[in-house]
């Protein structure tokens, strides 16, 4: 949708990053449609705010889902290997500054099979372990569901931390609430960040919003209420009837959206006012994707890609903090909005 960029609020990083043309190379694993990658690259606008370009360059990316790869190529870049991660490891570059990835969570999620990290999907974090061993990044970021920190997953978390810890990195394992970072969604996630001894220990980025100031779903999607369906804009929605399946809830206009799930089988949340389910564009907004990000797929596959993604705005805050640590700037710089000038 067209915007007047003279009125867009910019998120300033001045004073947090040195004036330098240095770029940091990034290896991206389990890239999906590119939510985390977009956050690390920066340079996008959503909710009337412009999230500035960050000093990261994706030099290698991998995803096994062909439809997600098509979306990635359309929005992030052509260079993504669409193949099984174990087959792709032999094509890794010899070195990278940063390695990122949201390893699959189906066996850990409360809505999944609960097989833990020994399950077929969540056990794929071991591919990240191998990739880190090969590329020796200064920093790596592994993202997963918040339930990884629950007592029922204690053994899985212990195993993951032990395997990453053996690589010789200092580890930070912290819970994140996406709504604290201006994402209009109550999405609990865990970021495991490993830092080499060449940079200072990682400290999570400061939160932007208190609970009482969280962005509501109405603020995020209200302007789409009068828009007709538009497949080219991903403004399409499921016609599934009311169902007892988990996730089949009605959004509340005065609070953030519920967690967007990847496998809700059409039972995505109902609109807070209209007699229909939320559209894929609305779900993408709730995940903090900019309107310029177009999903190159039909309804069900778009639903999967949106739900699997790391919210770009949350990833941007983590990436900004990492860029400071790569520059050995561990001081806590406040991120303040500056009004853009024409």
Strands (E), 103-258: 139-145, 170-177, 188-195
Residue 129: which H helix or E strand, with range? helix 125-135
User: Token match 């009125």: residue?
Assistant: 7
Burial code of 263-286, b = ≥16 C-beta within 10 A, e = fewer?
A: ebebbbbbbbeeeebbbbbbbbbb
Per-position pLDDT tens, the chain of length 342: 444 444 567 775 645 665 567 899 999 999 999 999 999 999 999 999 999 999 999 999 999 999 999 999 999 999 999 999 999 999 999 999 999 999 886 555 445 554 555 544 557 889 999 999 999 999 999 998 877 767 676 888 888 899 999 999 999 999 999 999 999 999 999 999 999 988 888 999 999 999 999 999 999 999 999 999 999 999 999 999 887 766 689 999 999 999 999 888 889 999 999 999 999 999 999 999 999 999 999 999 999 999 999 999 999 999 999 999 998 754 545 444 443 322
Domain assignments of the chain as residue spans, ordered by start: 7-211+310-329
Superfamily for domain range 7-211+310-329: Vaccinia Virus protein VP39 (3.40.50.150)
Tell me the pTM: 0.89
């Amino acid at each position: 949708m067209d915007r007047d960029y003279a009125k867009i609020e910019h998120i300033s990083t001045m004073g947090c990053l040195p004036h330098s043309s240095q770029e940091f190379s990034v290896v991206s694993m389990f890239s999906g449609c590119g939510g985390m990658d977009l956050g690390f690259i920066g340079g996008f606008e959503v909710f009337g705010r412009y999230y500035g370009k960050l000093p990261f360059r994706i030099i290698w990316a991998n995803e096994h889902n062909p439809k997600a790869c098509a979306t990635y190529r359309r929005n992030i870049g052509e260079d993504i290997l669409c193949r099984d991660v174990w087959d792709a490891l032999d094509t890794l570059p010899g070195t990278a500054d940063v390695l990122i990835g949201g390893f699959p969570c189906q066996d850990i999620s409360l809505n999944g099979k609960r097989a833990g990290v020994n399950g077929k999907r969540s056990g794929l974090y071991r591919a990240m372990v191998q990739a880190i061993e090969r590329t020796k990044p200064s920093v790596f970021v592994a993202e997963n569901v918040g339930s990884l920190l629950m007592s029922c997953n204690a053994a899985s978390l212990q195993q993951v931390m032990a395997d990453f810890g053996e690589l010789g990195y200092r580890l930070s394992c912290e819970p994140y609430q996406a709504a604290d970072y201006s994402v209009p969604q109550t999405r609990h996630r865990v970021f495991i960040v490993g830092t080499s001894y060449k940079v200072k220990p990682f400290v999570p980025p400061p939160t932007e919003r208190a609970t009482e100031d969280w962005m509501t779903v109405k603020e995020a999607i209200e302007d789409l209420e009068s828009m007709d369906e538009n497949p080219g804009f991903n403004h399409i929605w499921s016609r599934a009837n009311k169902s007892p399946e988990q996730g089949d809830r009605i959004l509340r206009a005065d609070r953030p959206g519920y967690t967007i799930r990847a496998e809700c089988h059409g039972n995505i949340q109902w609109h807070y006012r209209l007699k229909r389910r939320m559209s894929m564009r609305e779900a993408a907004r709730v995940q903090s994707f900019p309107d310029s990000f177009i999903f190159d797929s039909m309804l069900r596959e778009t639903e999967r890609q949106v739900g699997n993604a790391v919210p770009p705005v949350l990833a941007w805050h983590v990436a900004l903090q990492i860029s400071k640590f790569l520059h050995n700037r561990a001081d806590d710089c406040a991120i303040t909005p500056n009004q853009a000038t024409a």
